[in-house]
């Protein structure tokens, strides 16, 4: 029977720490501010943006939302980002992805000032993560590491397998585990012997975006299993990338879906925004 690592519990602690530091900054006349841009009316994006606004209110940040119509041009979007880059009271800028097809996501990410890039997607921040000298971490991998630390799991010397190679989760996740002296393998759709590789992992991170993809025969006895996925099963019920019911009895630690990695992503965004406010005011 695995120990459940509760993202609700850990994210509440992270938010409480951020709230306390925010109060200290406000006493110095600094109010951390986050600007969120949403283009179009994607329902999932709207839910995420609303959750980010609620989190800002919870920790005491100023939040500004820029809801742009789907037909917004590249020039209009880049002009808004330029304005926000120059706005002193905004410390973090987040452009909700995905963007409508006619917009160039890469150009949008590159336009955000690296000092305000609280998603840590800008190439200069990605490079800093690679060399281990970073201010910001991508929110989901950072949240996974926070859960690992909270559970008291030592990564050093462990065999770590990350399923998924996205720029948002898979690749930075691998780097963070490597920085803590894990021996890391990244698996993806072209990996041969996927089952055998996963079954040898002490720490298994599933970030593949396929419901219940990780089955019990892919998990080593006593492995730590971290499920980044958020999907719906055949009955429309929320589930992760891991077949929780079969894997949970075999693992030593496991994150549930919902209530595992999910709440951590926004908590780490708050932590990044706080860091951005401190950096831009010479306090870090």
Residue 271 annotated as catalytic: no
CATH of the domain at 69: 3.40.50.10860
Q: Are residues 234 and 165 in the same domain?
A: yes
Can 96 be counted among the known catalytic residues?
yes
Same domain, 73 and 158: no
Question: Are residues 18 and 34 in contact, defined by beta-carbon separation less than 8 angstroms?
Answer: no
- Please identify which of the residues 52, 116, 158, 271 carries the catalytic annotation: 52
Q: Helix H segments across 60-193?
A: 74-85, 105-111, 123-131, 139-150, 170-179
pLDDT digits (tens, 9 = 90+) for 69-109: 999 999 999 999 999 999 999 999 999 999 999 999 999 99
Catalytic pick from 116, 117, 119, 212?
119
User: What percent of the chain has a predicted confidence (pLDDT) above 70?
Assistant: 100
Does 80 map to a domain? yes
- Are residues 242 and 166 located together in one domain of the fold? yes
DSSP secondary structure string, 75-88? HHHHHHHHHHHT-T
CB 163 within 8 A of CB 203: no
CA nearest to 91, candidates 69, 131, 64, 123: 64
- Whether 22 and 30 have beta carbons less than 8 Å apart is answered as no
Question: Which H helix or E strand runs over 35?
Answer: strand 33-39
Task: Tell me which of 54, 58, 82, 96 is the catalytic residue.
Answer: 96
Calculate the alpha carbon distances from 110 to 121, 137, 172, 186 in Å. Answer: 8, 16, 18, 26
Strand 159-163 to 203-206 pairing? parallel
pLDDT by 10s per residue, the chain, length 284: 899 999 999 999 999 999 999 999 999 999 999 999 999 999 989 999 999 999 999 999 999 999 999 999 999 999 999 999 999 999 999 999 999 999 999 999 999 999 999 999 999 999 999 999 999 999 999 999 999 999 999 999 999 999 999 999 999 999 999 999 999 999 999 999 999 999 999 999 999 999 999 999 999 999 999 999 999 998 999 999 999 999 999 999 999 999 999 999 999 999 999 999 999 999 98
Asked whether 42 and 103 are in contact (CB, 8 A), the reply is no
207 vs 83, 165, 168, 174, 242, CA distance in Å? 35, 8, 10, 11, 9
Active site residue 119: yes
Note down the domain range covering 188: 139-262
pTM: 0.96
CB 207 within 8 A of CB 166: yes
- Where does a domain end: 97, 113, 129? 113
> How many Å apart are CA 43 and CA 24, to the nearest integer?
36
Residue 127 falls inside a structural domain: no
62 located within any domain: yes
Cβ atoms 33, 90 nearer than 8 A: yes
d(CA 258, CA 262): 7
Domain count, the chain: 2
């Amino acid at each position: 029977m695995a120990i459940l690592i509760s993202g609700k519990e850990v994210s509440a602690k992270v938010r409480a720490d951020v709230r306390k530091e925010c109060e200290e900054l406000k006493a110095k006349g600094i109010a951390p501010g986050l600007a969120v841009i949403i283009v179009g009316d994607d329902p999932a994006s709207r839910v995420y943006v609303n959750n980010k606004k609620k989190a800002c209110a919870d920790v005491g940040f100023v939040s500004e939302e820029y809801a742009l119509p789907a037909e917004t041009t590249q020039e209009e979007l880049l002009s808004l980002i330029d304005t926000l880059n120059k706005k002193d009271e905004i410390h973090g800028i987040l452009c909700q992805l995905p963007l409508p097809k006619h917009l160039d996501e890469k150009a949008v990410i590159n336009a955000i000032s690296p000092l305000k890039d609280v998603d840590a997607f800008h190439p200069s921040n990605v490079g800093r993560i690679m060399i281990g000298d970073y201010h910001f971490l991508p929110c989901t991998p950072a949240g996974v590491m926070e859960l690992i630390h909270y559970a008291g799991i030592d990564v050093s010397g462990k065999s770590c397998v990350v399923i998924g190679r996205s720029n948002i989760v898979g690749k930075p996740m691998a780097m963070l585990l490597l920085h803590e002296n894990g021996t890391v393998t990244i698996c993806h759709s072209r990996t041969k012997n996927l089952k055998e590789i996963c079954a040898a992992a002490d720490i298994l991170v599933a970030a593949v975006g396929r419901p219940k993809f990780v089955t019990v025969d892919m998990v080593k006895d006593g492995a730590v299993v971290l499920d980044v996925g958020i999907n719906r099963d055949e009955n429309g019920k929320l589930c992760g990338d891991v077949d929780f019911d079969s894997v949970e009895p075999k693992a030593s630690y496991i994150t549930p879906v919902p209530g595992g990695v999910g709440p951590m992503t926004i908590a780490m965004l708050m932590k990044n925004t706080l860091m951005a406010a401190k950096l831009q005011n010479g306090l870090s």
